[in-house]
Amino acid sequence: MVPPVSADMPNITGVRSAEDAGKINDAAHQFEALLIGQMLKSMRDSEGGWMGTGEDEAASSAMEYAQEMFAQALASNGGLGLANLIAKGLTPSERS
């Protein structure tokens, strides 16, 4: 007896739906944005602020938000190229 096909399972050919491909792509871009954000945060923390300037609490919060937005913008526009590699690795290839 064949188990029923659920929405979470790939179809008979092993190809996932366009919705699944979109979810994989979104997750890959979010991961890349997180990675870029962590790199920016590490740079800022190692210097004691951008360009060696000290920061108060408000400036620190504003800079964290700006870094997060910048990282998301970079990742959504190509970033380091990791999102495409990750999505390609997670998407099953079509076999002829």
69 assigned to some structural domain:
yes
Gap between the Cα atoms of 75 and 83, Å rounded: 7
**Max Cα separation, the chain?**
69
Predicted TM-score (pTM) of the model is: 0.63
Write out the two tokens for 22. Answer: 């979109």
For residue 38, the enclosing domain spans 18-48+55-90
34 assigned to some structural domain:
yes
Q: Is the pLDDT of residue 80 over 60?
A: yes
Residue pLDDT, tens place only, 44-77:
777 665 555 556 778 778 888 888 898 888 888 8
Per the model's pLDDT, the better-predicted residue between 56 and 37 turns out to be: 37
3 assigned to some structural domain:
no
Q: Which SS3 state, helix, strand or coil, does residue 54 take?
A: coil
9 assigned to some structural domain:
no
Query: Structural domain tally of the chain?
Result: 1
Q: Which SS3 state, helix, strand or coil, does residue 87 take?
A: helix
8 assigned to some structural domain:
no
CA atoms within 13 A on the CB side of 89: 8
32 assigned to some structural domain:
yes
